[in-house]
Amino acid sequence: MLEFAVRLPGVHEDDQGCWVLAVEQGKLLLAYPDNSLHWHAVEDCKFLKLMPPDTPRQRVMLAPRPGPTIAVPNGKLN
């Protein structure tokens, strides 16, 4: 699925929106600013932006946390 953003009138301001998390049978799953998830009909949303698949994405490297070694199912330790 291509990543795209929409604006929902009444929820987002004119220059803001959110990324669509899922598409199912003419409905879009959106995350509200209060971190709740809601389904909305495609007709209720206004298209904002498309993220083409060849667009570079920012990645953040995290240092591993110090702590105990974890045993994996094959019996070897990491």
pLDDT attached to residue 42 = 92
Domains of the chain as residue ranges with CATH: 3-51 (2.30.30)
Question: Are 29 and 22 contacting, i.e. CB atoms less than 8 angstroms apart?
Answer: yes
pLDDT in tens, 15-59: 788 889 999 999 999 988 788 899 999 999 889 888 877 777 777
Kindly provide the residue ranges of all beta strands, DSSP E only, lying in 8-59, ordered along the sequence. Answer: 18-19, 22-24, 27-31, 37-41, 46-51
Q: How far lies 22's CA from each of 35, 45, 48, in Å?
A: 15, 14, 16
pLDDT attached to residue 75 = 59
- The whole-model pTM stands at 0.61
Phi, psi of 5 (to 5 degrees): -115, 150
pLDDT attached to residue 74 = 67
